[in-house]
Every structure is written in structure tokens, then in C-alpha cells.
Amino acid sequence: MRIAFIGDIIGRPGRNHIKKELKRIRNNYNIDFVIANGENASHGFGLTVDNANELLKSGVDVLTGGNHTWDKKKDILTLFQNGSPVLRPHNYPDGVEGTGLMIIELNGIQIAILNLMGIYGMPQVTNPFIVAQEIVKDLHNDGIKHIFIDFHGETTAEKRIIFELLKGKVSAICGTHTHIGTDDYEVAFDTFYVTDIGLTGCRDNVIGMDNHVPIKKALTGIGGHFDIPNSCKTILQLIIVDINEDGKAIDGMKLKFFSDQEPIVNKALVTI
């Protein structure tokens, strides 16, 4: 089984790159299922119903969320209520609408997708490490071995902790949120791990946003509304993980597709 993760999709440039490339990539790389973080897909802040449907029609199977999940509150509630395959971090407090856990069946195998959010610099959530342990234990008790986690977090340490906590117990842990891709993708103890996949969208600016406001804030301390450029060089970044019938990661790779040059493909380090 081959599962792909796409990191934070930033606005129209990210959506357009996915619309143009993803179905071809799925076919060329024999990808069975695609998980993508969509919390920045609507002009960088939140996810609308129209943009969610656009991404699902373009080849994404499940959309995960993070700290910007509620920026388009009316739309996200509609998506949750109509049963769309859209998740929000599972460790929001009890009573919050939506879920961060989805179980689907693919080729006769049950697959769990779990969306979690870190604590540092994030909205109020419960302890993701305790939640993760409890959910993974329950999934194992239900006989579900294929478990994929999007950990949406600000700090590299939190993401590494979740890996050390769950290695050998889940199929893959892919970090999102910083928009900056890391090159520490590896397969260890039967689990694939990467600290952050990196953004899909504009790459020639500041985390997918127009340079003007971030630079002004850095120089003066005075912020403003972040905008996405109308024209930019784009990148589509995704992780591909190969999983055996027991839910164990056996191989993986990182792919970068550019609007202005040839793609780059790097194999993951397989250690244990």
C-alpha cells in the first residue's frame, strides 16, 4: 500500500498546483490514498466548502486541519455536518464540533487517519501525547494497524516526541504547520517520520505569503494582513510512504514538484 501526505496548502497557488499535477502524480507513482493539510487552502486562512470540494475533486482523499481550522467557521461547520472527509485536530476539548479521527477501508484494509495539534504557540487544546496514546491503544484493540498521523505543531521537539512515543505503533507521522520542509524523513522501528513536509504554494516569499507585511513587521514590529501573491513560483511537496499488510512502513520518499524546473525525488533513510 502506498500513502501520500501533502503539507500545508497555501491559497489559490497551492490549489492550482495540486489541480494541475496531483492526478498525474497519483498515476505515475501508484499512490493509493492522499492525505493533505488544508487549513490554509482558502487565501491562507481556513477552508471554504468550495475549496475543499475543489481539492477533493483534484485527487485528495482526506483534508486535515490545525490552528486555522476555524478561520472560515461557517464553512468548516458545514463540512463537518455534511460528512465531508475533513478533519480538525482531535485534541480540541470535548464538545467541539468535528473530529480528528477518520477510519476508512481501502482494498479490504482499515486505515486510521489521526490529526493532532501541538501545545506550544497554539490555541487551547488538550495534551496531544496523552490523546495519541489513548487513541492508538484503542485502534490496536480494534485490530487497526494502519495508522497515519498529521501532527500540526510549531516546535520540532514536540513532533520528535510524538515519534519517539509512538514509533513501532503507527505507520507514519508527518509534521505540518511551519510551511518549511525538513530533510529528516526516515523509516525507523517500522514507522515513517518527517518533522515537517513543507508548504504547497508560493515558494519565493515568506511561508507562502507576500513579502511586504512580514518584512515590515520584522523591521518595525507593526504587523498587518498577510496576503498571497497573485503571481509566484510554486512548489508541491509530498511524502510517499510504502506500508506492508501489517501496517509497518518499509520505505518512503520526498517529492518536490516545481512550476519552473524539474522535480526532485529523495529516498527516505531506512535505519531499522
CATH of the domain at 61: 3.60.21.10
Distances in Å between the Cα of 28 and the Cα atoms of 23, 24, 123 are 9, 6, 39
Q: Which of 36-50, 70-84, 213-227 has the lowest mean pLDDT?
A: 213-227
**pLDDT computed for residue 225 by the predictor:** 87
Does position 272 have pLDDT exceeding 90, yes or no? no
- In the predicted model, what is the mean pLDDT of residues 160-174? 98
Q: Which residues contact 143 (CB under 8 A, 6 or more apart)?
A: 110
The upper half-sphere exposure of residue 214, i.e. CA atoms within 13 Å in the direction of its Cβ, equals: 11
Asked if 116 and 159 touch (Cβ cutoff 8 Å), the reply is no
Mean pLDDT of the chain: 97
pTM equals 0.96
**pLDDT computed for residue 92 by the predictor:** 97
| Confidence band, pLDDT 50/70/90 cuts, at residue 223 | confident
| Confidence band, pLDDT 50/70/90 cuts, at residue 267 | very high
Q: Which residues contact 167 (CB under 8 A, 6 or more apart)?
A: 188, 189, 190, 191, 193
Domain of residue 104: give its range: 2-270
Catalytic residues: 68
Does position 215 have pLDDT exceeding 90, yes or no? yes
The upper half-sphere exposure of residue 156, i.e. CA atoms within 13 Å in the direction of its Cβ, equals: 11
Residue 96 φ then ψ, to 5°:
-75, 135
**pLDDT computed for residue 230 by the predictor:** 83
Does position 219 have pLDDT exceeding 90, yes or no? yes
| Confidence band, pLDDT 50/70/90 cuts, at residue 209 | very high
**pLDDT computed for residue 10 by the predictor:** 98
| Confidence band, pLDDT 50/70/90 cuts, at residue 239 | very high
In this structure, the number of other CB atoms found within 10 A of the CB of residue 222 comes to 8
Does position 196 have pLDDT exceeding 80, yes or no? yes
- In the predicted model, what is the mean pLDDT of residues 204-219? 93
Q: What are the pLDDT digits (tens) for 127-154?
A: 999 999 999 999 999 999 999 999 999 9
Q: Which residues contact 238 (CB under 8 A, 6 or more apart)?
A: 4, 5, 6, 7, 25, 34, 197, 200, 254, 255
Number of structural domains the chain divides into: 1
